[in-house]
Amino acid sequence: MAAQDAATELIGLWPRLPQMVGPTWPQVRPQTLDLAGLIRAAETDEERVTHTESLLELLLPYRAVAEILGAAYHRGRRSTGSVTQTPDWADVCRLLNAMDHEQWITARCVEDPQDGASAGRTRRLVLGIDRAAHPYAFDSAQLGLTVPATEDAGVLTVDVYGAPETVEVLPVHRSLVVRRLMPDPATVPSEALFDVTLLTDRPVHLVAVTRTADGRTPQQLRLTVGPSGLLRQEILLAPWRTPPGTAAPSVDLYVTLTSTGGSHVLTVRDATGSATAQLPFSHEQMEWLVREARRGIDALLLGPGGTSYESDLRIPNEVYESSLGQLTRSGFDLFHALFRPDDGSPALRRIGDIIINTLASAGPDSAPTIEVVSDGLNLPWHLMYAVDTYDDARISPYRLLGLGTRLTLVPLRSGHHHRHRMEYVPQTSSEATALIAVNMDIDRASTGDPRALAAGQVAYWQERIADRAEVVADADKVTEALRRPKRPDTLWYLYCHLIEGQEQSPLGDAALEFTEGRQVRLRDVRRCAPPEVPLPGAPLVVLNACATAARGAALRAGFPSYFLSKGARAVVCTDIEVPTELGAEWARRFFDRLLTGDTVATALHLTARELHKEYQNLLCLLYTAFGTSEARLVTPR
């Protein structure tokens, strides 16, 4: 690799540098800009090497960079004034490209020499690891390889899935060898091989899933293969990695759901291993399943004769018993449609067994933690009723995933879902700052039936964090805070109404309504406060408004997606309409827990169980968290 190529790839690092450098990035940024400008303006390879080395020397003091690049950099560094071209510069660039997403496993397409040139021909899909990356990928913190110290290699098993109507995948060699040391150039690493035949003239989507010997799923890729053989790839499931000096997340079950064109691939992993299967449903069928699963919660929300519980938290016994039956039955039907299909798929049944086993310990005082990662499919996991056989006489609300588990929906580490990954520095409750945006019209002050729900929200924050809570009620001020944030806030809390947009894009054209009917429209803030510009401080965002999450099976580009794109470390939103009285009571209890240091998943779970126990109110199932299950508002006391 020439110095010109190396310099070009290093300039391409720009989106990754904030994560690699961390909190001091704003101070380092001007220097990187200057050096990138010098690299672009360089006219000789010697100048490019000089400025590229200067850029690396600026970055190497940061541990995340040094751990990956230090050895390769020092091996390839100039020892004299002359330019030395060594493979190490290429190693540096490849490692930098792998580091951001930790995509150690990569794919390429090779033509089958025995096949003709017609469309739909068979190609050899090769999955392997770059030679220079072997020692880094071997690290047990990266790919979960745990082998005896006397062995110099570990083995991963690879599977590739695709929609049967679009592609035929034939495994040739499913084992991929990862070596402890960088292999000799003459050594050809073992690679996983698949023969892929496209059955259409359009690009085809595949999912490549890797597994370790103990059943972990450390890497998952989405591959797009075009008729010409052009292959694009992106990481879907990040490696099972624990940052240095921290304990592993206490997650009992990881679920990854990947949409690949007309196909959906589901992977689950727990302490005993993992399982992967393809869901036998089209997008239209998934939409129907989602609508059916929500019938129970719709009935509970409205009650008999269309009664909504605006001013009474307690749900009457007769309504509770009837609605709980509908809720669990619809959740049972969804669970069985997915994991007990008529075709008797053993892989899907195995996934269902894992979920049921995870719930085995669930009860009034215990709950496992589940993280669900999905790139494009929004299943109502919280409404699933995970049992093998439905029994009207033995209904347990704790078999609903929303009450029986700590459930979090995790945005993928790809695309726009998490464009910014500035490291969050935890704050104590005495240091936390917040933007509190409320719709004061909720209190109906000018009517004969006033209430103090919005005023109570404001008073709560003024009491808890005093002058560190900035309170706004005007939509223009919310927009201005998005455009020009004054400070790195710990929390953004919005207590308002959601106005859906046009039928063809109900959330993409949605608006948040504040006092006097003034609105913050999503399409407008995307222009004036684009996702490319992050919110400082990576705040936790809580949208306490009706139906701020997508109701259909497709994850639409609504407000949760927008805030995640702007770097929010987590977003809490609502599934459908929420009674205003419940919203206010839920907020007080939820934030009480967050301010003591509970994680978002724990605070959501315990608040829902508390309201269920005291009032037979199951409507807290409407609240959903997008973000890691370990996200907190403040450090634990």
323-350 pLDDT per residue, tens:
888 889 999 999 999 999 887 788 899 9
Mean pLDDT of the 449-454 span: 84
Whether residue 245 is predicted with pLDDT greater than 50 in this model: the reply is no
Q: Amino acid identity of 79?
A: S
Alpha helices (H) along 22-116: 25-41, 45-59, 63-76, 87-99
> Which of 111-115, 159-163, 519-523, 612-616 has the weakest average pLDDT?
111-115
pLDDT at 318 over 50: yes
Q: What distances in angstroms separate CA 485 from CA 19, 369, 419, 536, one per listed residue? A: 20, 34, 18, 7
Residue 142 binned pLDDT confidence (cut-offs 50, 70, 90): low
C-beta atoms surrounding 206 within 10 Å: 26
Residue whose C-alpha is closest to residue 546's, from 507, 591, 518: 507
- CA-to-CA distance for 101 and 222, rounded, in angstroms? 13
- Give the neighbor-by-neighbor strand order of the sheet with 434-438: 273-279, 263-270, 253-260, 369-374, 406-410, 623-627, 570-574, 540-544, 491-495, 434-438, 469-472
pLDDT level of residue 81 (50, 70, 90 thresholds): very low
Question: Does residue 192 surpass a pLDDT of 90?
Answer: yes
If pLDDT is split at 50, 70 and 90, which confidence band does 53 have? confident
Residue with tokens 């700052």: 433
pLDDT at 290: 86
Judge whether residue 555 has pLDDT over 80: no
Segment among 133-137, 276-280, 315-319 with least mean pLDDT: 133-137
Answer whether residue 114 shows pLDDT above 60.
no
Whole-number pLDDT of residue 363: 67
* DSSP label at residue 71: H
Which tens digit of pLDDT belongs to each residue from 205-222? 888 888 887 666 677 788
Using the CB atoms, write b or e for 330-355: b if 16+ within 10 Å: bbbbbbbbbbebeeebeebebbbebb
Can you give the pTM of this predicted structure? 0.71
Residue 45 banded pLDDT, cuts 50, 70, 90 = confident
More confident of the two residues 524 and 258: 524
**Bigger pLDDT: 196 vs 560:** 196
pLDDT at 239 over 50: no
Statement: residue 589 has pLDDT above 80: yes
Six token digits for residue 345:
């798929």
Say which residue the tokens 């110290």 belong to.
149
Which residues, other chains included, contact 284 with Cβ-Cβ below 8 Å and sequence gap of 6+? none
| Average pLDDT score over residue span 66-91 | 58
Query: What does each C-alpha distance from 85 to 48, 59, 132, 182 come to in angstroms?
Result: 12, 21, 16, 19
Given strand 175-179, what is the order of strands in its sheet? 175-179, 153-162, 204-211, 220-225, 231-237
> What percent of the chain has a predicted confidence (pLDDT) above 70?
77
The residue among 406, 441, 431 whose CA lies nearest residue 599 is: 406
Q: How many residues does the chain have?
A: 637
Residue 223 has pLDDT above 50, yes or no: yes
Contact by Cβ (8 Å): 20, 102 = no
Q: Is the pLDDT of residue 173 over 90?
A: yes
For residue 160, report the phi and psi dihedrals to the nearest 5 degrees: -125, 130
Instruction: Classify strands 497-499 and 469-472 as parallel, antiparallel or unpaired.
Output: unpaired
For 441-508, give the DSSP string: GGG-TTSSS---HHHHHHHHHHHHHGGGEEEE--HHHHHHHHHS-SS--SEEEEESEEE---TTSTTT
- Tell me what pLDDT residue 205 has: 84
How many CB atoms within 10 Å of residue 128? Answer: 22
The yes-or-no verdict on residue 557 having pLDDT over 60 is no
pLDDT tier for residue 70 given thresholds of 50, 70 and 90 = confident
Query: Which residues fall within 8 angstroms of residue 632, CB to CB, at 6 or more apart?
Result: 426, 540, 594, 597, 598, 599, 600
Q: Does residue 437 contact residue 496 with C-beta atoms inside 8 Å?
A: yes
Record the tokens describing residue 529, joined without a space.
Answer: 């406060």
| CA distance linking residue 539 with residue 534, whole number of Å | 10
- Which range, 73-87, 175-189, 296-310, 409-423, has the best average confidence (pLDDT)? 175-189
pLDDT score recorded for residue 422: 47
- For residue 417, what pLDDT band results from cuts at 50, 70 and 90? very low
Kindly tell me if the per-residue pLDDT of 71 is higher than 80: no
Distance of alpha carbon 57 from alpha carbon 35, whole angstroms = 11
Q: Give burial (CB, 10 Å; 0-12/13-18/19+) of 8.
A: middle
- Asked if the model's pLDDT at residue 503 lies above 60, the reply is no
The region of weakest confidence among 59-63, 360-364, 474-478 is: 360-364
Instruction: Dig out the tokens for 67 from the structure.
Output: 């751990």
CA atoms within 13 A on the CB side of 26: 7
- The whole-number average pLDDT for the span 108-121 is 62
Q: What is the pLDDT of residue 332?
A: 95
Q: Return the axis-axis angle of helices 45-59 and 63-76, rounded to nearest 10°.
A: 150
Spatial distance between the Cα atoms of 543 and 568, rounded to a whole number of angstroms: 12
User: What is the model's pLDDT at position 79?
Assistant: 46
Given a cut of 80, whether residue 155 has pLDDT beyond it is yes
Burial of 85 (0-12, 13-18, 19+ CB in 10 A): middle
* CA atoms of 148 and 609, how far apart (whole Å): 45
Average pLDDT of span 548-555: 53
The answer to which of 11-25, 255-269, 364-378 has the lowest mean pLDDT is 11-25
Contacts by residues 611-614 (CB-CB < 8 Å, ≥ 24 positions apart): 611/313, 611/582, 611/585, 611/586, 612/397, 612/403, 613/364, 614/313
Please state, rounded to an integer, the average pLDDT across all residues of the chain. Answer: 78
In the chain, what percentage of residues exceed pLDDT 90?
A: 20
